[in-house]
Amino acid sequence: MLSHSLQYVVFVIAVFALYWAVHRHYWPRMLLLLTASLLVYVSFLQVPLSAFVGGMPVGELVVKLVPLFIFLGGVTVDHLLVKGMGRTERPGVRKTLVVLSIVSNLGLLAGFKYLELLRKTVASLLGPWGVEVRPEPFHLLLPVGLSFFVFQAISYTVDVYRGKASSEHSFVEHLLYMLFFPRVVSGPIVRASELMAHFREVPTLSSDDGNKALFRIAVGLVKKLVIADVLGSGIVDPVFGSPHAYSSAECAVAAVAYTLELYYDFSGYSDIAIGVASLFGFKFPENFARPYLAKNLFEFWNRWHMSLSSWLRDYLYIPLGGNRRSKPRVCFNLMMVMVLGGLWHGADWRFAVWGGVHGVALCAVRCWWWFKGKQQEPGPVRVAFGMLATFTLVVLTRVVFRAPDMAHAGEFYARMLAGIPGLANVGPLMWSMLAIAVLAHAVPMKLYDMTALAFLKLPAPARAVVLVLLGLGIRQLSTLETRPYVYLQF
């Protein structure tokens, strides 16, 4: 049940109506949200509702629900550890409990996501020396949303340990915090103080807040269905699938198009998640702030996937020492964060390479600032150069991110740098969509705010007409097939 599908829209409308009918009563609204969240997650496991009433053999149903059982087990362990931290003031005991939580969560991630990568890596390293390593793959499943689940779980237990979150929440609240359906599989990564702390408050929703939420959802749908999907199916998939069949210029355009597709795909998902959460009285953190306008790579990472970037900063970079250590140690910390952040995206060394390149570039920028000093107000020429250099680096490294393996990425780079002219395969629709994507990213935020305000001032029937026309327009411009979100694979 993808959040840009008609099924999801109908589902949200039904849950919305039930929720606000019982919103003054704690247990009915909590159980409703938890049930809705479980249903959304189960839908990603391809389990139809009929399976729970005899439509599927019990054994097959249990196998399909294994990822859910894994999550329930993880939440149960964390909940017991959190309760243990809440019942003692002894620093040693509290530290032991939070370490157990971190180890158990990272153990889940390592076991289900990275064990196969470890097997293949050890086999490739020891094979030439005559050391035989298990040749067969482990064939372990990868639960949908595991990476986001683990990071959110760690943030809660660590925040309890640090005294930034309460340990007094019930198991139902803890479970709902982990599986809350607007963000269950792809984020944003929400801190306990941003969601869990508000579960016991009676929710409110003003007319303006509701209309803003609908506008935000509409923007997200346009980003995903009109811009991201059209770019993805129209040029990114064909060119990355067979780079040898396209010119160097077309490969370069496809690399830029993928960079834009990834942004509009994931920020569209985030807009829908933020808007849907707002409809239920919850405020999610922003996840993007026009990252391709960043003047340097540090600024880019402060604007891109901000919930992940802030997580890596607060729970990895700062504990490693952050900027407080020697200059070599600061560079080491940056490299560690970026390489591990790259691997978080997928169990493939190409993601580590992608993160490592960003780490080297961040170290280079940091060293330049140490040597020359950081300009607080750079001139327009320096700003333009910084934006161009940052965007170019992001585009070039995204080739590794998109390619299925390093060999394919190498083939794509070679084709892109071969100097073969020609743009015959980039049609008017693609040029128009690229222009729309660039302009929509570059326009001042005030324009978005003015558009939202104009939408809010329309009479209710007029707003309904606008939304219907928008839906019809999306249907005409978007691809006929429903494309999953890019970040679902991570």
Residues involved in catalysis: 345
CA 62/CA 65 separation, integer angstroms? 5
The amino acid that residue 76 corresponds to is T
**Three state DSSP letters for 179-248:** HCHHHCCCCCCCCHHHCHHHCCCCCCCCHHHHHHHHHHHHHHHHHHHHHHHHHHHHHHHHHHHCHHHCCH
Distance CA 239, CA 359 (A): 28
Token pair 């086999």: residue:
123
The closest of 440, 19, 447 to 231, measured between CA atoms, is 440
Residues in the chain: 490
The C-alpha atoms of residue 470 and residue 79 are separated, in whole angstroms, by 44
Sequence-ordered list of residues with C-beta below 8 angstroms from that of 376, at least 6 positions apart, any chain: none
Residue 314's Cβ-count burial label (10 Å; 0-12, 13-18, 19+) is middle
Q: Tokens 């009433």 label which residue?
A: 53
Distance CA 264, CA 275 (A): 16
Q: Rounded to whole angstroms, what are the CA distances from 477 to 175, 223, 460? A: 39, 12, 26
Return the closest-CA partner of residue 214 out of 456, 475, 458, 476. Answer: 456
Half-sphere exposure of residue 335: CA atoms within 13 angstroms, side-chain side? 11
Contacts for 458 with CB less than 8 Å, ≥ 6 apart: 466
Is the Cβ–Cβ distance between 213 and 276 less than 8 Å? Answer: yes
Q: How far apart are CA 67 and CA 56, in angstroms?
A: 17
**What residue type is 98 in one-letter code?**
V
Name the one residue in this structure whose structure tokens are 């998109």. 402
